[in-house]
Amino acid sequence: MNLAQLLHRAAAADHEAPAIALGPRTHATYGTLAGRVAALAGALRTRFDLHDGERVALLMTNTPAFVEVLFACWHAGLVAVPVNAKLHPQEVRYILDHSGARLCFATPALADAIAAHTAGLAGFETIVPVSTATAPSHEYHHLVSGAAIPVVPRADDDLAWLFYTSGTTGRPKGAMLSHRNLRAMTLSYFADVDAIAPDDCILHAAPMSHGSGLYILPHVAAGARQVIPESGHFDPDEILSLFQHHQGVGMFAAPTMVKRLVERAVETGAGPGNLKTIVYGGGPMYVEDLKRAMACFGDRFVQIYGQGESPMTITVLGRADHTRRDHPRYQARLGSVGRAHSVVEVRVADAHDRTRPPDELGEILVRGDAVMHGYWNDAEASARTLRGGWLHTGDMGAFDADGYLTLKDRSKDVIISGGANIYPREVEEALSSHPAVLECAVVGRPDPQWGEAVVAFVVTRPGHTVAAADLDALCLTRIARFKRPRDYRFVERLPKNNYGKVLKTELRTWAAHPADAE
C-alpha cells in the first residue's frame, strides 16, 4: 500500500479537519492538503518527467511545505530524500549525488546556500524554492495549483524514504526505508508509544528531516494536526506558548531540548498547558534530568530508542514505566530504554551473534518489518550490517530479566550532541587538512546541556603552531557548525597501542579532566 493513502483516507473522513497549523493558526485543512499534494504529484510526473522510484530531496527548515512535498513524492510513486538543514553545502551535495536525486525542494535561504554546490551533479536538474510564511514562491504555488493525478500504486517493499545517516567512516549512508517499514513504524506508535485522537496534534520542534518528520505518519493516520513553529526551529518560549494554544500536544524531542524546555519553564513559571506527551530519544537522558522534567511537566513522558535503520522503532519505555514509582526496579527502569517494540524482535549478542543471557553485555540486534532493506548503493555495508537477517546496530547493551534494555556503550565512536550524531572521522578529516596539523583525534565527553561535547586532540607538526580559532574557522568551511569541536587540546602525542591505533578510551579519560591535568 502506498503511504499516500493515509492522507487521502484522512481527507475523505473529514475534509474540513485542520491538517497543518503554522504557529497558533490553521494553515491547511485535510481537504486542502490532499488537493495540493495531488497537484504537486502531477507536476512531478508531468512537468519534471519523474518516474517510479526516482528520488526527490527535501532540504528544509520546518515548514508546511515539508508535509506537502513528502506526501507528493509518495503520491507520485517517488522516493523522498529528506536532508538535515544544518549540513554544510558540501555535505548536502554528497547526499544529492549519492542518492541520484533529480530535484531538490528547499526553503529559500537554503536554496540560495547550496545553488553553487549543485553544478555538475549527474542527473540533477534543479532546486525548487518552496513557499514559506515570509518568502512566497510563485513557482511552488504554480506546482501545487496544477492538475491532480491519482495515487500511483506502490508495493509494500518499494522504497519510500532514503534516511541518510552516517557510519564510522563519516560518509553518510542512505538507509532504504520502504512503505512496509514506515507502515510498521506507524502501527507501532499506536501500539507502544501513544494514542492519538483527531483533535490531538504533533508539535514539530525537532527537525522534520529526521525523527519528528517520521512521526508525521501516525498523526496523519489518525487525522490529527501537524503544528509547525513559525520560527521553523526549536525556541523554548515559542514551544511553551504553543503548549497553551493547541489541544492534545505531543512532540518528539532530544534530551537536550527537554532540558532547555524545563529550564525555561522554571524561569518563566510556564505550565504544561495542553501538553499530552513528550517522546524523547536520540541521545542519553540522565535519570536526574528526567526526574526534573517530570516534576516540571508531570507524567507525560515516553522514551524511544531507534536508529534510521529501524526508524524510531527498537525499544520503548512507556508512560506507565515512568509513573510506577512503587516498583522495586523503578530507578533502573528510568535509566533503561525500555522493552522491544511490538513489531520487532530485539536481542543482545556476542561477537559470534550468539544471544547473551540477562545482565550480560553484547551488541544490540534487531529484526522485523520496521528494519531497513539495506543501504543505498552500498552492498558491502548492507551485508555487514544485516548479516544473518538481523540489523547489527553497533550499540552495546544488556537486557534485564524483565526484558528492559539498558544501553551501556556504543561500539562505534559516534558522538551524540543535542540529539544529533557526530562522527569523529569527518571532523578529524577537516582538522587534518590544516598544514600545521600532524595528527588529530576526536572524542566525546559528557556534557550536562548537550549530552556530549566534541573534544579535539591535536598534535602539530614540528616547528608549526596553529590557534584553536583558526581550526574552528577551518571546520566551518568543511563541516556543519554543530559538528565542530567545543574544546581543542594541543598535545605532544596521541596515545596508541602496539599496532599504532589511537587509544580513544584513554583520550576520553583525558577529555574528562581539565587541559592542564594531562
Tell me the pLDDT tens digit for each residue of 452-470: 999 999 999 899 999 999 9
Is the CB of residue 190 less than 8 Å from the CB of residue 199? Answer: no
pLDDT band at 167 (very low <50, low <70, confident <90, very high): very low
Q: What is the mean pLDDT of residues 131-153?
A: 95
Q: What pLDDT was estimated at residue 413?
A: 72
Q: List, in sequence order, every residue forming a beta bridge with 306; answer none if it has no partner.
A: none
Instruction: Give a yes or no: residue 462 inside a domain.
Output: yes
The answer, yes or no, to whether residue 498 has pLDDT greater than 60, is no
Q: What pLDDT was estimated at residue 516?
A: 60
Instruction: Give a yes or no: residue 303 inside a domain.
Output: no
pLDDT band at 309 (very low <50, low <70, confident <90, very high): very high
Q: Residue 393 has which C-alpha cell?
A: 546496530
Instruction: Give a yes or no: residue 442 inside a domain.
Output: yes
pLDDT band at 206 (very low <50, low <70, confident <90, very high): very high
Q: What is the mean pLDDT of residues 174-203?
A: 98
Which of 159, 182, 204 is where one domain is finished? 204
Q: Residue 160 has which C-alpha cell?
A: 519510500
Which of 160, 184, 204 is where one domain is finished? 204
Q: What pLDDT was estimated at residue 517?
A: 53
Instruction: Give a yes or no: residue 384 inside a domain.
Output: no
| Host domain of residue 506 | 415-517
Q: What pLDDT was estimated at residue 170?
A: 57
The answer, yes or no, to whether residue 298 has pLDDT greater than 90, is yes
Instruction: Please count the structural domains in the chain.
Output: 2
Q: Which of 505, 513, 396, 498 is nearest to 441 (CA)?
A: 505
Q: How many whole angstroms separate alpha carbon 199 and alpha carbon 202?
A: 10
User: Torsions phi, psi of 244, nearest 5?
Assistant: -80, -30
Instruction: Give a yes or no: residue 318 inside a domain.
Output: no
The answer, yes or no, to whether residue 106 has pLDDT greater than 60, is yes
Mean pLDDT of the chain: 93
CATH number at residue 1: 3.40.50.12780
- pTM here is 0.85
Q: How many whole angstroms separate alpha carbon 115 and alpha carbon 319?
A: 45
Q: What pLDDT was estimated at residue 169?
A: 44
Q: Residues with Cβ < 8 Å from 177, sequence gap 6 or more?
A: 159, 160, 161, 162, 163, 308, 311, 372, 373
Instruction: Give a yes or no: residue 18 inside a domain.
Output: yes
Percent of the chain with pLDDT over 90: 83
CATH number at residue 506: 3.30.300.30
Residues across the chain: 518
pLDDT band at 115 (very low <50, low <70, confident <90, very high): very high
Lowest-pLDDT range of 121-135, 414-428, 471-485: 414-428
**Which three-class secondary structure state does DSSP give residue 401?**
coil
Tell me the pLDDT tens digit for each residue of 221-238: 999 999 999 999 999 999
pLDDT band at 132 (very low <50, low <70, confident <90, very high): very high
Which of 155, 189, 204 is where one domain is finished? 204
Q: What pLDDT was estimated at residue 276?
A: 98
The answer, yes or no, to whether residue 324 has pLDDT greater than 50, is yes
Instruction: Give a yes or no: residue 230 inside a domain.
Output: no
Q: What pLDDT was estimated at residue 500?
A: 60
Instruction: Give the count of alpha carbons within 13 A of 74, CB side only.
Output: 29
Q: How many whole angstroms separate alpha carbon 370 and alpha carbon 219?
A: 18
Instruction: Give a yes or no: residue 389 inside a domain.
Output: no
The answer, yes or no, to whether residue 423 has pLDDT greater than 80, is no
Distances (CA, A) of 506 to 15, 261, 455, 494, 496: 60, 34, 13, 9, 9
Q: What is the mean pLDDT of residues 33-61?
A: 98
Q: How many whole angstroms separate alpha carbon 164 and alpha carbon 147?
A: 32
